[in-house]
Structure formats: C-alpha cells, structure tokens
C-alpha cells in the first residue's frame, strides 16, 4: 500500500477541518482536488474514511481514526526532519566562495567578504578555484559562488557583473601624501602593468591606460612585479600599475597610490541558476551595493 | 518545506550506493529523473545534500546529518503501509500467509490455493527477499508463517509456534555415481572435501551459520564451496545431477522422498542434535484475529493427511 505525503497532508487537513471546503482553503487548493485525493485514498485503503453529513460536515470512520493513530509516528519523523533542516538554516548554511588566488589577494575581495560576513543566513568559507575550473566547481557543488574576471560560461549558470577592480600604482619614490595619480602623469616615467587574469585581458587593459595619455608602458608578470618591489634598485622601471594586493606589507619601501581612471579589471560572480540556496541573488545584490561606494553609486 | 517521498527515497538510496544509474534502475526511473528528484529535494529544503566529484558522489555535511532522519521517515512510511494493510485484512477477515519453498510447503500451498479449502480470503506469499520471515511476522506484514527452522531459531517471545513436524539429526545425500562414500563407515569430514548443498536462511533459518561455524570449529576447514538453496526441490535436483553433497537438517530422506531418487543417504548426529529441525506454523503471540487462528488450526489438522496423500502418489 503506497500512501504518499500529499495524501497524508490532505488527510490531516480533512481530519482537522472537518469539511472538504475548509480543508481546501487550508491546503490552498480546489475542493474538487481535495475530493479527488480523498477518493483515491479510500480506493487504496479499500474502505471509507469519512461519512458526509448535512452541509458537507465530515465524520471520520473508525478506519480514519485508526489511520490517524497509526500515522502519528510517521508525522513525528517528518517533523523531526523539518526541525533538523530548520536548525541548519538557523546556524547558517555554508556559503563557499570560490576564486582564483590572485582575486582572493585583493583589497576588493576583502571589501566584498566583509560586506557579507555578518549575514546570519550563512557562514562563509573559501575554495581556491583555478580560472578554467569555475564551471566544474559550480556544477559539482564544491563551491556556491565563483568570482572571476571573465565570468563563467554555462547554460545552467547565471553570471552577474560586480563593480570593477580598480587599479593602483606601486611607486618607490612617491611621497606618501599623494592620493591619486592621473594616467597622464605616468607618461613622465617608465612604467609596467602587472598582469592579472590572463595576458589577453591584461594587454587590453594596458592599451586602455595608454589611450588615456599615459605614454608607453610594458607588461610584466606578477612574479616580475614582486621581484621589482623587493629589489628596489632595479633600473628601468619607476612604477608598476597593478591591482593592489592585500599581502604586501612586508615591503615598506613601496607606496600604493590610486590610479585616477575608470580603467580596471571587471569582476564577475557566477552561480548555478537552480541553486538550493534561495538567497544567492540577493546576496550578490548586497555585494554589489557594498562595492559601489554611495558617492559614485547614487 | 514541501518535499515528497520519492525524492527522499532517491536521496537515501543515492547516499547508500553513490551511483545515479543504479538508483535510477532500482526506482525504475531515468537517470536525469533521479538527478532531478534530488535537485527538487535540495531546493525545497534549501540545502545541498551532495557534491559531485570525478570519483563519485559525496554527501555534504548537511546531507550526512539529514540522512538518518530521512531513513527513519522511509521506515515509518513503510510500516504505516504495512499496518494499514493489516487493519484492512482484519476488518475484511483476510489472512496473509507466508509459506517457505520446501516440498511440504508446496503441498500446503497447493491445498490452500483451492478456494474450497479456504476459511477466509487468503493471500499466499513466499519468503521475501528483503526481510526475514520473523521480522515480516513481527511487523505485521504477514499473519501466518509456515517454515522450517533449525534448533532454536524459531523460539522468540513475540512469536507463538505450533510444530507440525519435529526431526532429529542431519541428513547427507549424494549421487553415488560421483561420490563413493561408504554408508556403513561414513565419516563426516569426507563429505566436507566436496561442494556441499545446504538450505539458506529463507528455507531453514539458522542452519547455514551453524554449519559453517561447526565445520570450522570441529574439523578446522570449510568445504571448498557452499551452494545455498532456498528451494528444496532445486537442491534435490542439483544433488541428483552431482553438483555436490546435500546436507540438510532433520529427516530430509522422508521430507524430500529421497528413497525414490537412488541417492546415497546417511543420517547422522541424531544424538548431538535431538531437535535439529522443526516444521512449524508461527503466529504473533497474542494473535486475536479469528480467521488467522482458524486458518492455522486448519493447516495443522490437514498437514498429516497432506503428507500421506503425497506418499500414496
């Protein structure tokens, strides 16, 4: 005998409400649907469950009373399951943020993390996801949100743009009180752009900076950038345009100054369209708001 | 939070075996449908239950935490179905009988199948694949069980038994064309040098583990191969074609009419195992349902004549 959860729900409502009409209101369905499920159950059980009195009032038969009694342990287990789920919801579901190492190591990501850290709906953890593994990581469920420069393509994925990662200039000689450097000020120096998120995107960004009147620049890798910063006497480069890393405190001789320009690396966040966590879109909204300073946003 | 039963079942099965294709086959649905069911459950409870890895599925921590509760729901649901069926049987006066696949069981089955011999609407089933006979009886899945048991396997406080037959010792039978055992000076370890054919848990509960332990303890070795049968007729046939030595508890010679087959037969251990085998009717202790009791009494009454009937043939 197969009694499914819908039948049990309908039966409980009929027992509690005492009429098909009120049960249908309670179950938010039509009266004929209630009747259909009720009849189906009576066929399964081979016995009548309710006697209809005047004005549609129902009187449960002994079978129905037996059924209600026998059902209570199943209902207890179902309630136990729901309670367990609710408990997990209350303590906060685990939200795994995935990104490439270089994206984690930015101030931008730090802001982003801090904007959602206190949300009681979830507890945040990090997963390192290589640039070309974003889709696999999302579809396998090893992380819930993937941050990347180019976004993650996939039929089942939703990708949304976040405020771009702005650029900074690492200088050796700049006095610390300087707040920002105009791109045109770069033309007086020999400068490089530290690659971020692949050579193609970096080359494009280099051209954009040059178009803003910054003169001729070169590309250098993250490793070259660090070598340069550690060995400050190396000739040939006065400044490196870069995404400001978080872990750079060990080099006090380097000053970071904001590059006053719209040019930057885009940042995208991707997630499964049918992710069990219903709060992902709103969380992304929250991140978006946090990264967009109100002065610019409003 | 509205989840349905099939999804829960898919969740539990998937956690147990870890393969979508296997679960899909077991639940008779397609693989995408199985995957969809899990996705549906995940969405309705707002939690991830599995993460998919190249080397298979893995339960998440949330999934692992919910698995046992989900399992309990399924167990309770099955029990509810069983209890409702029992209530239904009670109110309609029907009886569900489980009969083992022994030769005597076959006779009872044939007798009960004739509508004229039924005192109440009867449903006859064989020993199922999932639950053992005593569980099925205790949990109201069936009302009457007719089965052979070895030693005390049938002595349980929740069950009441009536022995139709009581037999001593153990019977060995073999095809003399293959095995030339000396019936006069038979030595048991000789038989253990060949494949043995024995009844399984669904035919004579308790026998197989006992025999294996006994072989190890007393003779220090297991036979090269043990073929387990849930059907006396099939075991007899295999013995006749020479697959191995049949070792059945009790007086299998009489039970299975071995004298007609020309097999070599030895009965032994009658002193060591004075009540090795009983063929009994079991009902739940305190059974009040009249048609169950009536059916049991009727079978007990008719059993000796069934045996004789067959003998005359």
Domain-by-domain residue ranges, chain A? 5-90, 92-164+265-297, 168-262
- Which chain B residues are within 8 Å of A2, Cβ to Cβ? 81
pLDDT band at B312 (very low <50, low <70, confident <90, very high): very low
d(CA B169, CA B275): 7
More confident residue, A176 or B294: B294
- Which chain A residues are within 8 Å of B79, Cβ to Cβ? 73-74
Structure tokens at A25: 């209101």
- Is domain A5-90 given the CATH code 1.20.910.10 in the classification? no
H or E stretch covering B299 = helix B290-312
Over the stretch B133-174, which tens digit does the pLDDT of each residue have? 888 888 888 999 999 999 888 888 889 989 998 899 999 999
At residue B307, the pLDDT reads 65
Over the stretch A248-297, which tens digit does the pLDDT of each residue have? 666 667 778 888 878 888 889 999 998 989 889 998 988 888 887 655 44
DSSP state of A28: T
Just give the CATH number of A92-164+265-297.
3.40.190.10
Structure tokens at B246: 């049949």
User: What is B169-268's CATH number, 3.40.190.10, 3.40.630.30, 3.40.30.10, 3.40.50.300?
Assistant: 3.40.190.10
Nearest residue of B to residue A86 by CA position?
Answer: B45
Angle between helices B20-27 and B31-45 (to 10 degrees): 100
Q: Specify whether the CB–CB gap between B276 and B150 falls below 8 A.
A: yes
Nearest chain B CA: its distance from A109 CA (Å): 25
Residue B189 in this model has a pLDDT that exceeds 50: yes
A93–B46 C-beta distance less than 8 A: yes
- Is domain B93-164+277-312 given the CATH code 3.40.190.10 in the classification? yes
Q: What angle do CA B289, B290, B296 make, to 5 degrees?
A: 100
- Which chain B residues are within 8 Å of A140, Cβ to Cβ? 51-53
Tell me which fold the domain A168-262 belongs to: D-Maltodextrin-Binding Protein; domain 2 (3.40.190)
pLDDT band at B120 (very low <50, low <70, confident <90, very high): confident
H or E stretch covering A10 = helix A5-17
ipTM of model: 0.79
In the three-class reduction of DSSP (H, G, I as helix; E, B as strand; rest coil), residue B133 is classed as helix
Q: Where exactly are the structural domains of chain B?
A: 5-80, 93-164+277-312, 169-268
0.80 cut: is pTM over it?
A: no
Residue B72 in this model has a pLDDT that exceeds 60: yes
Residue B265 in this model has a pLDDT that exceeds 80: yes
pLDDT band at B252 (very low <50, low <70, confident <90, very high): confident
At residue A269, the pLDDT reads 92
Report, at the CATH architecture level, how domain B5-80 is classified: Orthogonal Bundle (1.10)
Give percent of chain A with pLDDT exceeding 70.
Answer: 93
pLDDT band at A132 (very low <50, low <70, confident <90, very high): confident
Structure tokens at B287: 């059974």
Residue B311 in this model has a pLDDT that exceeds 50: no
Residue B279 in this model has a pLDDT that exceeds 60: yes
pLDDT band at B313 (very low <50, low <70, confident <90, very high): very low
In the three-class reduction of DSSP (H, G, I as helix; E, B as strand; rest coil), residue B283 is classed as strand
In the three-class reduction of DSSP (H, G, I as helix; E, B as strand; rest coil), residue B118 is classed as coil
pLDDT band at B282 (very low <50, low <70, confident <90, very high): very high
B39–A140 C-beta distance less than 8 A: no
Identical fold for domains A92-164+265-297 and A168-262, yes or no, is yes
At residue A176, the pLDDT reads 61
Over the stretch A216-241, which tens digit does the pLDDT of each residue have? 888 888 888 877 877 765 667 778 88
Angle between helices A5-17 and A31-45 (to 10 degrees): 110
pLDDT band at B262 (very low <50, low <70, confident <90, very high): confident
Nearest residue of A to residue B46 by CA position?
Answer: A276
Identical fold for domains B5-80 and B169-268, yes or no, is no
Over the stretch A168-211, which tens digit does the pLDDT of each residue have? 888 776 566 677 788 888 887 788 888 887 778 888 888 888 88
Give me chain A's average pLDDT, please.
Answer: 84
């Amino acid at each position: 005998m197969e009694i499914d959860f819908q039948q049990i729900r309908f039966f409980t409502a009929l027992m509690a409400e005492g009429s098909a009409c009120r049960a249908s209101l309670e179950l938010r369905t039509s009266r004929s649907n209630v009747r259909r499920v009720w009849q189906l159950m009576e066929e399964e059980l081979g016995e009548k469950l309710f006697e209809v009195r005047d004005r549609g009032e129902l009187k449960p038969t002994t079978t129905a009373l037996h059924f209600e009694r026998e059902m209570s342990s199943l209902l207890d287990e179902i309630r136990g399951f729901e309670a367990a789920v609710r408990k997990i919801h209350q303590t906060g579901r685990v939200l795994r943020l995935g990104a490439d190492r270089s994206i984690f190591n930015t101030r931008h990501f730090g802001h982003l993390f801090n904007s959602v850290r206190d949300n009681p709906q979830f507890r945040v953890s990090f997963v390192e996801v290589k640039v070309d593994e974003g889709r696999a990581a999302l579809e396998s469920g090893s992380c819930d949100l993937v941050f990347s420069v180019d976004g993650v393509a996939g039929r089942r994925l939703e990708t949304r743009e976040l405020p771009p990662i702005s650029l900074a200039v690492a200088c050796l000689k700049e006095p610390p009180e300087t707040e920002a450097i105009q791109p045109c000020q770069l033309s007086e120096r020999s400068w490089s752009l530290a690659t971020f998120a692949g050579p193609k995107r970096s080359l494009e960004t280099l051209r954009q900076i040059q178009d803003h009147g910054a003169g001729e620049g070169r590309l250098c890798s993250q490793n070259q950038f660090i070598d340069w910063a550690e060995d400050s006497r190396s000739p040939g480069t006065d400044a490196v345009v870069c995404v400001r890393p978080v872990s750079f405190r060990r080099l006090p001789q380097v000053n970071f100054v904001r590059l006053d320009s719209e040019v930057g690396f885009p940042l995208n966040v991707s997630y499964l369209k049918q992710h069990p966590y219903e709060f992902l879109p709103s969380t992304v909204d929250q991140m978006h708001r946090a990264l967009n300073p109100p002065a610019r946003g409003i | 939070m509205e989840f349905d039963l099939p999804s829960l079942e898919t969740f539990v099965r998937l956690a147990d075996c870890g393969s979508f294709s296997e679960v899909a086959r077991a639940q008779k649905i397609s693989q995408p449908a199985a995957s969809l069911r899990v996705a549906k459950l995940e969405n309705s409870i707002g939690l991830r239950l599995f993460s998919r890895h190249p080397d298979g599925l893995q339960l998440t921590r949330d999934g692992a935490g919910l698995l046992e509760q989900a399992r309990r729901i399924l167990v309770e649901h099955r029990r509810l179905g069983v209890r409702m069926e029992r209530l239904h049987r009670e109110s309609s006066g029907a009886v569900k009988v489980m009969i083992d696949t022994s030769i005597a069981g076959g006779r009872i089955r044939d007798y009960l199948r004739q509508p004229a011999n039924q005192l109440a609407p009867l449903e006859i089933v064989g020993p199922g694949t999932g639950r053992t006979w005593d569980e099925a009886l205790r949990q109201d899945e069936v009302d009457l069980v007719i089965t052979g048991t070895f030693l005390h396997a049938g002595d349980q406080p929740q069950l009441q038994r009536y022995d139709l037959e009581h037999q001593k010792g153990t019977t060995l039978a073999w095809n003399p064309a293959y095995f030339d055992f000396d019936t006069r000076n038979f030595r048991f370890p000789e038989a253990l040098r060949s494949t043995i054919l024995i009844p399984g848990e669904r035919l004579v509960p308790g026998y197989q583990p006992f025999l294996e332990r006994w072989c190890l303890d007393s003779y220090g070795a297991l036979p090269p191969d043990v073929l387990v049968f849930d059907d006396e007729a099939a075991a007899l046939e295999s013995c006749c074609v020479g697959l191995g030595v049949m070792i059945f508890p009790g007086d299998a010679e009489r039970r299975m009419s071995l004298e007609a087959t020309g097999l070599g037969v030895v009965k032994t251990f009658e002193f060591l195992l004075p009540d090795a085998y009983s063929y009994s009717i079991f009902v739940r202790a305190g059974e009040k349902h009249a048609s169950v009791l009536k059916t049991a009494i009727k079978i007990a009454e008719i059993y000796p004549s069934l045996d004789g009937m067959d003998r005359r043939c």
